[in-house]
C-alpha cells in the first residue's frame, strides 16, 4: 500500500467511525425507530458508576434513543443481599428512579445466577430445604421491593453450561432442576404483573444449549408456573454473528411454546484497534440481529449491553477485544448505529 492510499484508508476509517447518522433518522433515535417498526422498545444496560458522567447521561436519558434501561449489576444478589437477611436496594433504586424520571421501561436483572452470588450462599453448605427458603426469601423480598416497577424480571440467568446441560451451581447441586420453577413461582407471587424471563447466551441458534433452554421453558410450564419470555443475550463477535435465518428459527422455537423473546444484552465485539472493515462488518452484523427480531412477532425488543465502548464489559473480559457497541469511546456514533437505524427504518 502506498503512503497516500494508507493515509486515505485511515482518513476514510476515521470519518466512518465519526460520521453521524443520516439526519432524518438522527432525529428519530433507536427507540423511536424501534417503536415505529413495531417493537416495544430499544434499550440499553447502564451501571451506577456511569451515572455521574454528564455527557453519557445526556444520551442515556433520551427516551427517543432508549425506551428501556437495564441495571448491569445493581440488582444482582451480591449487591442486594450481601449477607443473609441484609438487603441493600440503594444502587438498584438509583437505576429504577432514573427509568421513572426518563419515562423508560425497566428490565430488572437478575434474581438467580451462579455469578455475583455472595459466598454465604454459594459456600454456605445449606441443605435442600434451607436453600429453597433462602432462594424464595431473596426473590420475594427483592421482587416485592420493586413491585410495579419492573417491566421484565430476568428470574433465572445462565442456568446452562456453555455446551449445554445444567450448570453445576449451588442451586442445581442442592435443589436439582426444581430450583428453576421454584424461582419463577416466587417471582410470580411477588409481582404478578412483571413479565418473567429466563435469560442466557448461545441460545440464539439451534445449538444443544438452545434446545436445553427450550426444555427449561417446558420445565417451568410443566409445574404450572408462569414464564413469559426468554432473553437471548446475543454477545456476538464480528464476522461470526448468527445468520438471520438461524436466529429467526431459534426465536420461533420459543414462540411455539407461547413465550416471547427479547434480545437482552446485544454487543458485537472485534479485535482492537478496530479496522474500518471490521466496523463495516459489525454494522452488517447488528442489522442481521435487528432484522431477525423484526421478522418474528414474538421478538418484542432489543437491549444493548450499555451503549458506548467507554463502558463496555468486553475489554475487561476478552483481552484484545472491544469496540462492541454502536457508540465509540468518545460517545460518537459508529457505522453500527447507522446500520441499526437503517434496519429499523426499513421495517
Q: Considering the complex, state which of residue 157 and residue 174 has its C-beta at the smaller distance from ligand 9MR.
A: 157
168 grid coordinates:
453445576
Q: Pick from 31, 44, 233, 303 the residue near ligand 9MR by CB under 6 A.
A: 233
> What is the CA 217 to chain-centroid distance, rounded?
18
Q: Quick check: is 248 catalytic?
A: no
Number of residues near ligand 9MR (by CB under 6 A): 8
Cβ at position 112, least distance to ligand 9MR in Å:
12
| Among residues 115, 123, 130, 330, the one that binds ligand 9MR under rule CB under 6 A | 115
Task: Measure the CA–CA gap between 261 and 37, rounded to whole angstroms.
Answer: 16
Find, among 208, 230, 99, the residue nearest to 154 by Cα: 230
Using rule CB under 6 A, residue 73 touches ligand 9MR: yes
- CB-CB contact of 167 with 161 (8 Å): yes
Cβ neighbours of 148 (radius 10 Å): 7
The least distance separating ligand 9MR from the CB of residue 272, rounded to whole angstroms, comes to 17
35 or 286, CB closer to ligand 9MR? Answer: 286
C-alpha span between 181 and 191 (Å, rounded): 15
Report the DSSP pairing between strands 260-271 and 321-322: antiparallel
Taking CB under 6 A as the criterion, which residues in 269-328 touch ligand 9MR? 313
**In the complex with ligand 9MR, which residue's Cβ is closer, 253 or 265?**
265
Nearest approach, Cβ of 305 to ligand 9MR (angstroms)?
Answer: 6
Is the Cβ of residue 200 or residue 338 nearer to ligand 9MR in the bound state? 200
Among 10, 15, 90, 116, binds ligand 9MR (CB under 6 A): 116
Assess 162 for contact with ligand 9MR (CB under 6 A): no
> DSSP assignment of 225-293, as one string?
----EEEE--EEETT-PPPHHHHHHHHHHHHTTT-EEEEEEEEEEEESSPPHHHHHHHHHHHHHHHHHH
- Catalytically active residues are 265
Q: Which residues bind ligand 9MR (CB under 6 A)?
A: 72-73, 115-116, 157, 233, 265, 313
Amino acid at each position: 500500500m502506498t503512503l497516500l492510499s494508507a493515509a486515505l484508508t485511515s482518513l476514510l476509517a476515521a470519518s466512518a467511525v465519526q460520521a453521524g447518522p443520516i439526519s432524518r433518522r438522527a432525529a428519530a433515535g433507536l427507540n423511536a425507530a424501534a417503536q415505529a417498526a413495531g417493537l416495544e422498545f430499544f434499550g440499553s444496560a447502564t451501571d451506577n458508576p456511569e451515572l455521574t458522567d454528564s455527557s453519557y447521561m445526556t444520551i442515556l436519558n433520551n427516551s427517543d434513543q432508549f425506551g428501556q434501561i437495564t441495571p448491569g449489576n445493581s440488582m444482582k444478589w451480591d449487591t442486594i443481599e450481601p449477607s443473609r437477611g441484609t438487603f441493600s436496594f440503594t444502587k438498584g433504586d438509583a437505576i429504577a428512579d432514573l427509568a421513572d424520571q426518563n419515562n423508560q421501561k425497566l428490565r430488572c436483572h437478575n434474581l438467580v445466577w451462579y455469578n455475583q452470588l455472595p459466598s454465604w450462599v454459594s459456600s454456605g453448605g445449606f441443605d435442600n430445604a434451607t436453600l429453597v427458603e433462602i432462594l424464595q426469601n431473596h426473590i420475594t423480598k427483592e421482587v416485592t421491593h420493586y413491585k410495579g416497577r419492573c417491566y421484565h424480571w430476568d428470574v433465572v440467568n445462565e442456568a446452562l453450561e456453555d455446551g449445554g446441560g445444567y450448570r453445576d451451581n449451588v442451586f442445581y447441586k442442592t435443589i436439582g432442576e426444581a430450583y428453576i420453577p421454584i424461582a419463577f413461582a416466587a417471582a410470580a407471587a411477588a409481582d404478578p404483573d412483571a413479565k418473567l424471563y429466563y435469560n442466557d447466551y448461545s441460545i440464539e441458534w439451534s445449538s444443544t444449549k438452545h434446545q436445553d433452554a427450550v426444555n427449561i421453558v417446558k420445565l417451568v410450564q410443566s409445574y404450572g408456573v408462569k414464564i413469559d419470555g426468554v432473553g437471548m443475550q446475543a454477545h456476538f463477535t464480528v464476522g461470526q454473528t448468527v445468520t438471520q435465518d438461524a436466529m429467526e428459527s431459534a426465536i420461533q422455537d420459543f414462540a411455539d411454546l407461547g413465550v416471547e423473546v427479547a434480545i437482552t444484552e446485544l454487543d458485537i465485539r472485534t479485535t482492537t484497534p478496530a479496522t474500518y472493515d471490521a466496523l463495516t462488518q459489525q454494522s452488517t452484523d447488528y442489522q442481521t440481529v435487528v432484522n431477525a427480531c423484526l421478522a418474528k412477532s414474538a421478538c418484542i425488543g432489543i437491549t444493548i449491553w450499555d451503549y458506548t465502548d467507554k463502558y463496555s464489559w468486553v475489554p475487561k473480559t476478552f483481552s484484545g477485544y472491544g469496540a462492541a457497541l454502536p457508540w465509540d469511546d468518545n460517545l460518537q456514533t459508529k457505522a453500527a448505529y447507522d446500520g441499526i437505524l437503517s434496519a429499523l427504518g426499513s421495517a
